[in-house]
Amino acid sequence: MDFPILSSLILLPTLGAIFIFFSKSKSNTYLTSKYLALFVSFANFILSLYLWYLFDPSTSEFQFLEERSWIKGFINYKVGIDGVSILFIILTAFITPLCVISVNNTIKTRLKDFLVAILIMESLMIGVFCSLDLVIFYLFFEGGLIPMFLIIGIWGGEKRVYSAFKFFLYTLLGSVLMLVAIISIYWITGTTDVIYLYSIGVDSKYQNLLWLAFFSSFAVKTPMWPLHTWLPDAHVEAPTAGSVLLAAILLKMAGYGFIRFSIGLFPIASEYFVPLIYFLSLVAIVYTSLVALMQEDMKKLIAYSSVAHMGFVTLGIFTFTQQGLEGSIFQMISHGLVSSALFLSVGVVYERMHTRLIDNYGGLVSTMPNFAVVLMVFTLGAIGLPGTSGFIGEFLILMGVFKKSFLVAIIASLGVILAAAYMLWLYKRIIFGKILKNEIKKLLDLNKTELFILSSLVFPIIFFGFYPEPLLNTVEVSIKDLIETYNVNLKINLMETK
C-alpha cells in the first residue's frame, strides 16, 4: 500500500481547516467556508468508505500500516487499523459532514471559527482511532480537548463557561494519570508501539496499577458513574453540532480505548477488575436511567440516556465473549447514530421554540408530522426495538453477559425497560397531547436541510437493524483474535502463579 490513506484521512480535514482559517469571506453567510468545509468533510467520508472497501476483514492483522520516525529512538508515528477501529473512523467521517450541514440553522456567530474547530476535531478523532503508538494516541486523545472546549465555550448556551471548564478539567485530570502510565510502560517494556506491546505483553505485577491509570482516563471519558457529571452539563450547553460530536464520537474514544488498550495490554488486570466494571456499569444503567426519567430538559434526558447506554457498552466489553464485544462495538456505532440523531432533532425544535423544557412542548404531531415520524424512528432506536440498530447491540451484549453472570444480566435487562419508559414518555410529552401553546400552532415542519440530515440518519439505523452483517463481518475476526490472545494470556499467568 503506497498511498498513505490513513494519514490522508487525518490530514485532509486539518488542511481544510487551515484554508478556511485564512480565507477571507467577509459576507455574513460565509458561503465559501461552508461549502469548503462540506466538501472536505464529505471527501473524507468518501475516502473512509473507500478504506472500508479496501479493508480485508478476514485477517486480524493491522492493515494500512504507516510508520515514520518521529522522536528518534523513542517514538514512531505509527498508524494502522484493524476490524475494531475501522468502523469508528467511518462513523466519524459520516457524522462530521452532518454537523457541518447542521450549522446552517444553529450557529449564528463566528461561523468560520466554528467550522475550523469542527474540522480540526475530526482530524484528531480519526487520529485517535488509528494511532498505534501510545504517545501518539495520547496526543490525539488530549488534543481534542482544545477544539471541544472552544466549541462549548464560544457557541454554547447560558452556562457555557461552567460546562466548558468542567468538561476540560475533568478530562484532563483523568488523562494525566494515563500519561504517567504510558511513560511507565515505556520504561518497563522499552517501547510504546502497540503492536509490539501486544506481542511481548506487560509484566503482570505492574498491570493492575497501569490498568487503573488508563481506567481513570477512560472512565471519565466514557463516562462511567460516578464520573459522569460533566456530561449532562457539556451536552446541555454545547451547540447542537458540539453535542453530536460529543455523543457520537468523543464518548466512543473511551470504549475504543478499553478494547484496544485495557483488554489488549492488560488482560490479567482486566480480568481482576471485572467486578468493579460490572458494578459501575450496572449502577450507570439503572441509576442514570432513573435520573433520565425525572429530567425536564430534553438534552439532559438524552445525555443521561447516553450514560446508561455507555454502561451497556462497558458491560459488554468486559464479558470478554465474542457476542459481548461485538455487541459493544455495534452498540457504540448504533448509539453514535441514534444519539446524534436525537440531538439533531432537539436542535430542530430548539431553533423554532428556543426552549428545551419538555413541558413547553406537546402536540407537535399536528404541526410537524414529518418530524414526528423521524423522531419515532430515533426513539425506537434508542429503546432498542427489534428492527433498529439499537436492538442488535443490546441483544448481543445481554447474550454475552448471560454467559458470565445471570444476575448481572437480569439487572442490565432492567435498563432496557427503563429506557423504553423514559424515551416513550419523552416522545409522548413532546409529540402527542393537546396543543397548549400558541407558538406550537405556528410551527413549520422540517425544511429540506433538516429533512436531509435526519433522514440520512434514519436510513443506517433501520438498515443495520435488519442487516447487521456488514458491520459484524468487519469486526468478527479481530474480536476473535483479541479474545483468543486474552485467554492465552490468562492461562499463561495462571500457570506462572501456580
The answer to the question of residue 149 lying near another protein (CB under 8 A) is yes
How many residues in the shown chain lie near another protein by CB under 8 A?
A: 33
The only residue of 6, 177, 349, 412 in contact with another protein, by rule CB under 8 A: 177
The answer to the question of residue 11 lying near another protein (CB under 8 A) is no
**Beta-bridge mates of residue 76:** 69
The only residue of 35, 50, 70, 279 in contact with another protein, by rule CB under 8 A: 70
Among 174-182, 289-297, 312-320, 323-331, the segment contacting another protein (CB under 8 A)? 174-182
Q: φ and ψ at 99, to 5 degrees?
A: -60, -45
Q: Is 405 left (phi over 0), alpha (psi -120 to 50) or beta?
A: beta
The answer to the question of residue 173 lying near another protein (CB under 8 A) is yes
First to last CA, the chain: 46
> Least separation, in Å, of the C-beta of 244 and another protein?
21
The answer to the question of residue 179 lying near another protein (CB under 8 A) is yes
Contact 336, 343 (CB under 8 A): no
Query: Toward another protein, which CB reaches closer, 47 or 172?
Result: 172
Q: What cell numbers appear for 377 in the block?
A: 424512528
The only residue of 169, 357, 407, 494 in contact with another protein, by rule CB under 8 A: 169
Query: Toward another protein, which CB reaches closer, 190 or 386?
Result: 190
Query: Toward another protein, which CB reaches closer, 35 or 74?
Result: 74
The answer to the question of residue 78 lying near another protein (CB under 8 A) is no
Q: Name the residue among 137, 455, 46, 103 with its Cα closest to residue 244.
A: 103
Q: What cell numbers appear for 396 in the block?
A: 448481543
The answer to the question of residue 143 lying near another protein (CB under 8 A) is yes
The answer to the question of residue 53 lying near another protein (CB under 8 A) is no
Per-residue x/- track, 250-279, another protein (CB under 8 A): ------------------------------
The answer to the question of residue 180 lying near another protein (CB under 8 A) is yes
> Least separation, in Å, of the C-beta of 357 and another protein?
24
> Least separation, in Å, of the C-beta of 139 and another protein?
4
Q: 425544535: which residue's cell?
A: 349
Among 85-93, 160-168, 251-259, 324-332, the segment contacting another protein (CB under 8 A)? 160-168
Please give the Cα distance from 356 to 346 (Å, whole number).
Answer: 8
Query: Toward another protein, which CB reaches closer, 164 or 313?
Result: 164
The only residue of 34, 78, 160, 252 in contact with another protein, by rule CB under 8 A: 160
The answer to the question of residue 184 lying near another protein (CB under 8 A) is yes
Distance of CA 253 to the CA centre of its chain: 6
Per-residue x/- track, 103-132, another protein (CB under 8 A): ----------x-------------------
The answer to the question of residue 284 lying near another protein (CB under 8 A) is no
The answer to the question of residue 153 lying near another protein (CB under 8 A) is yes
Q: Which of residues 295-324 bind another protein (CB under 8 A)?
A: none
Q: Is the dihedral of CA 121, 329, 170, 271 positive or negative?
A: negative
The answer to the question of residue 187 lying near another protein (CB under 8 A) is yes
Q: Which of residues 398-427 bind another protein (CB under 8 A)?
A: none
The only residue of 11, 47, 65, 183 in contact with another protein, by rule CB under 8 A: 183
> Least separation, in Å, of the C-beta of 284 and another protein?
24
> Least separation, in Å, of the C-beta of 33 and another protein?
14
The answer to the question of residue 164 lying near another protein (CB under 8 A) is yes
The answer to the question of residue 72 lying near another protein (CB under 8 A) is yes
The answer to the question of residue 30 lying near another protein (CB under 8 A) is no
Q: 472500508: which residue's cell?
A: 52
The answer to the question of residue 186 lying near another protein (CB under 8 A) is yes
The only residue of 38, 43, 65, 154 in contact with another protein, by rule CB under 8 A: 154
The answer to the question of residue 242 lying near another protein (CB under 8 A) is no
Opening angle at CA 388, ends 385 and 390, nearest 5: 75
The answer to the question of residue 139 lying near another protein (CB under 8 A) is yes
Positions that interact with another protein (CB under 8 A): 69-72, 74, 113, 135, 138-139, 142-143, 145-146, 149-150, 153-154, 160-161, 164-165, 168-169, 172-173, 176-177, 179-180, 183-184, 186-187
